[in-house]
Chain A
Amino acid sequence: MSGLAGLAALRRGPSLRVLPLATVLGVATLVAAGARSPVRLEPELSWSAPSWAHPLGCGEGGVDLLALVAHASLRAVLLAVCVALVGFVIGCPLGAAAAVARGRLERAVARACDLVQAFPTFLLALVVLSAVRSPSRLDLGFVFALTAWAPFARLALAQTRVLRDQAFVEAARAIGVTPARVVVRHLVPNLLGIVAVQLGAAAAAVVVSEAALSFVGFGARDGVSLGVVLDQGVSAMLRAPHVLLVGAAAVFVTSVSLMAAGRAFDPTFARKARRN
């Protein structure tokens, strides 16, 4: 009963009201991305304020900020979703398997998750990126995926601890189902609803990290990133404050939209689980 109440509260919650807004923004982004180029420079328009022709104004060298923000957030979201899915696919079975195995393996995985989750991803990224001359988006994705599995594994572990002693798992084991099959067929489907929320949070974290990396100068070599907008904004804080505000708002909206999208997963999965 309390589960139902929780679901109802979630459906009314503020996060889901943000979702349509996020969708609209996403569509607008797509349209803008198709129509403008983020690398076309018009030097005479450098740092010009918002106008009808350039709704968000122009940045360094006269780059159209709307085009830059649209392309940058699209690419960031794509990267983030891929990384979150990789983390999900690795972490979820790993956590479930560790909880089923119990004992030393369970403790080791839990400890590893704690460490990796608390570890400064930034440092790890620097280490790996220092070996490549100018990182591509694939390199960045690889770096983020190195740590992305940990929160998923942690959640799956905690949830499987609850599930592993329930009757249906015991029944499956009693009729001779192998442990691996128990994890894949019986445990992982029951984890999806809870772990799915983490998808949004993980994707949001990747968007912010990607922007932070390119803000400090480690970004992808194409230079189309929200961090680049912020970097330009900080250097021209006094001359053209709109660049800074546009960059900050773009980072905020992108990360909050992804979080809200992850929240939206929850009820659908929970409903499906109840029907089965």
Chain B
Amino acid sequence: MDRRGRGPAPLGGVHADPRSSGGGLAKSKRVAGAVLGRLAEAALVVLALATLVFLALRLLPGDPAALVLGDQSSEEERAVLRGKLHLDEPMWMQYARFVRGLVTLDLGESVRRPGASAAARVLDAVGPTASLASLAVLLGAVIGIAAAVLGAGPWLGERRHWVDRIATAIAATPLLAFAPVLTFALAARLRVVPLPGDPEAGAAGLVFASGLLALPLAAHVARVSRAALDDVARAQFLGVARAKGGSHARVLWLHALPASIGPIITVVGTQLGALLGGAVVLERLFERRGLGTLILEAYASRDLPVLEAAVVFSGALFVGAQQVAAAIHAAVDPRVRR
């Protein structure tokens, strides 16, 4: 039985967490330390990924210049390209240049589109992907939590077990299997959403794509929230809230949910990677512009600077989002602060 949960303190409103009543200076120092720790960890992960990208393109067998130019290219052409990509320098100098490029956001010029810097092309593609993913996170969290509350409350009677079953079924179905089928049914047959590749899809296309992306997330959120709500279901502070005359809905939304928000945020954080992978698939499915399309295009045309920049940037985006999730978790739940 967990009495340390948030919500009204059971006995006369005595604050349970002694640390939050500590000195202001000590607290701000602790917060600064935590933020710095998070930043350092995020930077380390991004650097590790960037190093992996760097090494994969240089140490694996095969000449990158030949990969870019094709087998028919002459040795002179390859030498020129190697000079342009700095592949003729010693490894440590290339690495130093690469790391400096990461910091200054200057990762060289696109091989395929002379004049366009790799970083500019990536920044250009971030917008659509970011709006797709953030709308998906929002929809997924809202739908998932609403479904869990519906399943935990008394409104559906015996039928509330259906919430769990549906969530389990959706969570077990791969996005790759249901997204094309739903698109076929809704876009090609019923014509309620724009067809894939429709350049005038606009907001409807965005909402539909992020709705598809949100479905598996919502299923995971619903399952985890159901478990978390069950965990606090017998806590004393909920009984007190009921005894004071709160309705089921009020007790669930205002008392039980804040106490079980931790696992919900954690599951969103762990699903971010899958979300990013799903975004690539959906951008390919709907022929939407975005980071995924850019990465695929750069891979197909062997545009190495753009590929490096796009992969490192997506990794940074992912790590950043995860750290934000962890920070929100710490901000709303005093129990996880260390």
Chain A residues engaging chain B, CB cutoff 8 angstroms: 114-115, 117-124, 126-133, 208-209, 211-212, 215-218, 227, 230, 233-234, 237-238, 241, 244-245, 247-249, 251-252, 255-256, 259
Contact = CB atoms under 8 A, between A and B. Distances in A.
Contacts of A208: 174, 176
A215 B184 contact: no
B196 interface: yes
A241 B274 contact: no
A18 B52 CA distance: 41
Interface stretch (B27-35, B100-108, B109-117, B280-288): B280-288
Contacts of B91: none
Interface in B181-203: 181, 183-184, 187-188, 195-196
B280 A122 contact: yes
Given A118-B269, A132-B60, 9 more contacts: A120-B274, A122-B276, A122-B277, A124-B52, A130-B299, A131-B56, A131-B64, A133-B62, A251-B176
20 contacts: A114-B270, A117-B270, A118-B270, A118-B273, A120-B272, A123-B277, A123-B311, A123-B318, A126-B299, A127-B56, A127-B311, A132-B62, A209-B277, A212-B176, A212-B280, A227-B176, A234-B196, A245-B184, A248-B181, A259-B172
A140 B236 CA distance: 52
For the complex of A and B, the 6 pairs showing the least CB-CB separation, nearest first, are A122-B277, A131-B60, A120-B273, A252-B177, A208-B174, A120-B276
A244 B295 CA distance: 25
- Interface secondary structure of B, over-half rule: helix
Given A121-B273, A132-B62, A251-B174, A127 B181 contact: no
B177 A238 contact: no
Contacts of B67: 131, 133
Contacts of A233: 180
A66 B182 CA distance: 23
Interface string B252-272: 000000000000000001111
B181 A244 contact: yes
What is the predominant secondary structure among interface residues of chain A facing chain B?
Answer: helix
B62, B174, B295, most chain A CB atoms within 10 A: B174
Nearest to B272: A118
Nearest to A208: B174
B176 A230 contact: yes
A237 B183 CA distance: 9
A255 B269 CA distance: 24
A208 to B, nearest CB: 4
B173 interface: yes
Contacts of B172: 255-256, 259
Nearest to A207: B174
A249 B180 CA distance: 11
A216 B281 CA distance: 7
Contacts of B296: 216-218
Contacts of B295: 126
Contacts of B178: 248, 252
Interface in B147-195: 172-174, 176-178, 180-181, 183-184, 187-188, 195
Contacts of B272: 118, 120
Contacts of B281: 212, 215-216
A268 to B, nearest CB: 22
Contacts of B304: 130
A126 B196 contact: no
A141 to B, nearest CB: 16
A130 B311 CA distance: 11
